């Protein structure tokens, strides 16, 4: 059955590339993906596959039912873009000013659509049910996963798999990890309210810039002195705004930043520690403050058994040249919410363009090697089918005993 699936995927590879390039030319931002969602919906309807649109917003869910009994497996791809100007000189460059698929979500979507087409052609021989989750708004919290789950995209699902095309790693490499693979991604905002005045009379002011500058330095000590070295964490101040003239002492300064963690206790501890530091520094400078800590996506935590399925499949795919356990990544992903509801695994598929400078995700020059989509489709498809093969093998073994 795998040979049939792989043969179909290879046959439809050019279509996969064509879909990806069309989507790359027509990106849409998070929560605004109406045309992309319609494109996905129409693709399934033209194939005669059962599809439900407007799931939790702009989400789309397609269902393929095999003719034989078995588990329900979900496969997920995201399809939103980013507010970045595409600077590549390629025929499929974004046609939307200031909007770009700079993270590979166009490739994720093309991969899942063609995989669904191949599975649909095999439905008479398939065990169980396959649910194709096309998720909107992964890039922007609260994300689309929560609303899609609330709207029933995981109803009846036994296991879920997903992948991210990973442009920092060469094509042919699959990276996996049991347990936490991506971090919880939170945001904080701190506003310092002092007392402004003339730059030549600092003694009559409460300098918000000085107070905020002291705060930036103290925040860097949270990870080094308040977090167990065995645990991983990041506290980053990403912006510092205090708009005034050169000879004016600012009365207000705003800091925004991000916190990345894997452990929920560490996550809560850092949230409290930030405010404790802010409160102390503002007390010594006789200033007031406001503090907001916005929790984003939780950590992506893979399940062991499902990850083992994935690893075994990847090692038997001809195009896969390396299968390695990766270090946890500090980036965030709302695939985490699916794994809180059902067992599954999320992995990285190497997609570094051959012979080109390696531009990172979210860069104006970002691109992928499109051969990575075929590898991703084969790995996802193999993992999905393997759930049923494993289930059948266990049933046969039990009967023999």
The model's pLDDT over 208-255, given as tens digits with 9 standing for 90+, comes to 999 999 999 999 999 999 999 999 999 999 999 998 889 999 999 999
Query: Going by DSSP bridges, is the β-strand pair 68-78/159-170 parallel, antiparallel, or unpaired?
Result: parallel
- Show binding-site residues: 103, 105, 139, 164, 362
Cis amide leading into 128 (omega within 30): no
Distance CA 97, CA 34 (A): 17
* Local confidence band at 55 (pLDDT 50, 70, 90 cut-offs): very high
What number is the average pLDDT over the span 387-392?
64
Q: Would the pLDDT of 396 be above 90?
A: no
What pLDDT, on a 0 to 100 scale, did the predictor assign at position 242? 96
Q: Give the closest residue to 53 by CA, choosing from 37, 73, 64.
A: 37
What number is the average pLDDT over the span 39-58?
98
Strand ranges of the sheet holding 322-325, from the earlier edge strand across to the other edge: 50-55, 59-65, 127-135, 68-78, 159-170, 343-352, 173-176, 322-325
Distance CA 101, CA 36 (A): 12
pLDDT digits (tens, 9 = 90+) for 108-132: 999 999 999 999 999 999 999 999 9
Q: How much is the pTM?
A: 0.92
Q: Would the pLDDT of 400 be above 60?
A: no
What number is the average pLDDT over the span 82-109?
98
pLDDT digits (tens, 9 = 90+) for 160-182: 999 999 999 999 999 999 999 99
What number is the average pLDDT over the span 38-53?
98
Share of the chain above pLDDT 70, in %: 97
Higher-confidence position of 93 and 396? 93
- Told to judge if 86 belongs to the known catalytic residues of this protein, a careful annotator would answer no
As a CATH number, domain 2-182+299-400 is 3.40.630.10
CA-to-CA separations, 97 to 19, 28, 343, 368, in angstroms, rounded: 20, 11, 40, 20
Q: Give the closest residue to 263 by CA, choosing from 229, 238, 237.
A: 229
Q: Give the closest residue to 78 by CA, choosing from 5, 139, 14, 6.
A: 139
Dihedral (Cα; 144, 146, 148, 154), 10-degree rounding: 130
User: How does 33-59 read in b/e, with b if 16+ C-beta sit within 10 Å?
Assistant: beebbebbbebbeeeebebebebbbbb
- Show binding-site residues for Mn(2+): 103, 105, 139, 164, 362
The active-site residue out of 33, 80, 158, 367 is 80
Q: Would the pLDDT of 88 be above 50?
A: yes
pLDDT digits (tens, 9 = 90+) for 250-308: 999 999 999 999 999 999 999 999 999 999 999 999 999 999 999 999 999 999 999 99
* Local confidence band at 397 (pLDDT 50, 70, 90 cut-offs): very low
- Told to judge if 158 belongs to the known catalytic residues of this protein, a careful annotator would answer no
Q: Give the closest residue to 255 by CA, choosing from 283, 219, 287.
A: 219
For helices 105-121 and 34-47, give the axis angle rounded to 10 degrees.
10
The answer to whether 2-182+299-400 and 184-294 have equal CATH topology is no
What pLDDT, on a 0 to 100 scale, did the predictor assign at position 388? 73
Residue 257 CB neighbours (<10 A): 19
- The residues spanned by each domain of the chain are 2-182+299-400, 184-294
What pLDDT, on a 0 to 100 scale, did the predictor assign at position 244? 81
What pLDDT, on a 0 to 100 scale, did the predictor assign at position 399? 34
The active-site residue out of 28, 86, 138, 370 is 138
What number is the average pLDDT over the span 353-373?
91
What pLDDT, on a 0 to 100 scale, did the predictor assign at position 356? 61
pLDDT digits (tens, 9 = 90+) for 337-356: 999 999 999 999 999 998 76
What pLDDT, on a 0 to 100 scale, did the predictor assign at position 398? 34
* Local confidence band at 390 (pLDDT 50, 70, 90 cut-offs): low
What is the DSSP secondary-structure string of 5-64? HHHHHHHTHHHHHHHHHHHHHS--BTT--HHHHHHHHHHHHHHT-EEEEEETTTEEEEEE
Q: What is the mean pLDDT of the chain?
A: 95
Residues 6+ apart with CB under 8 A from 283: none
What pLDDT, on a 0 to 100 scale, did the predictor assign at position 389? 65
Lookup: tokens for 326: 């990766």
Rounded to 5 degrees, φ, ψ at 165 are: -65, 125
As a CATH number, domain 184-294 is 3.30.70.360
């Amino acid at each position: 059955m795998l040979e049939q699936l792989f043969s179909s995927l290879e046959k439809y590879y050019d279509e996969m590339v064509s879909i990806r390039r069309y989507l790359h030319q027509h990106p849409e931002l998070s929560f605004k993906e109406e045309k992309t969602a319609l494109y996905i919906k129409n693709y399934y309807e033209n194939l005669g596959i059962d599809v439900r649109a407007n799931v939790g917003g702009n989400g789309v869910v397609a269902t393929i039912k095999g003719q034989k009994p078995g588990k329900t497996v979900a496969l997920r791809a995201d399809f939103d873009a980013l507010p970045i100007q595409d600077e590549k000189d390629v025929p499929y460059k974004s046609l939307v000013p200031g909007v770009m698929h700079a993270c590979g979500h166009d490739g994720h979507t093309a991969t899942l659509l063609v995989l669904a087409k191949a599975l649909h052609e095999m439905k008479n021989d398939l065990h169980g049910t396959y649910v194709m989750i096309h998720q909107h708004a992964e890039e922007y919290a609260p994300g689309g996963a929560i609303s899609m789950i609330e709207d029933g995209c995981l109803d009846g699902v036994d296991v879920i798999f997903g992948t991210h095309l990973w442009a920092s790693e060469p094509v042919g490499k699959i990276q996996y990890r049991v347990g936490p693979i991506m971090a919880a991604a939170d945001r904080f905002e701190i506003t310092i309210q002092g007392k402004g005045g003339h730059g030549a009379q600092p003694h009559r002011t409460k300098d918000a810039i000085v107070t905020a500058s002291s705060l930036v330095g103290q925040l860097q000590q949270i990870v080094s002195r308040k977090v167990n070295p065995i645990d991983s964490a990041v506290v980053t101040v990403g912006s510092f705004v205090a708009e005034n003239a050169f000879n004016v002492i600012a009365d207000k300064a705003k800091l925004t930043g991000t916190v990345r963690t894997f452990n929920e206790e560490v996550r809560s501890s850092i949230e409290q520690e930030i405010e404790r530091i802010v409160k102390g520094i503002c007390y010594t400078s006789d200033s007031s403050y406001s503090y907001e800590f916005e929790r984003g996506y939780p950590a992506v935590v893979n399940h062991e058994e499902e990850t083992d399925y994935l690893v075994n499949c990847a090692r038997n795919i001809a195009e896969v040249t390396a299968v390695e356990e990766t270090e946890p990544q500090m980036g965030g992903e709302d695939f985490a919410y699916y794994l809180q509801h059902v067992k599954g695994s999320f992995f990285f598929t190497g997609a570094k363009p051959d012979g080109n400078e390696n531009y990172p995700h979210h860069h104006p020059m970002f691109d992928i090697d499109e051969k990575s989509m075929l590898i991703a489709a084969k790995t996802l498809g193999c993992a999905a089918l393997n759930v049923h093969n494993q289930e059948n093998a266990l049933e046969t073994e039990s009967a023999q005993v």
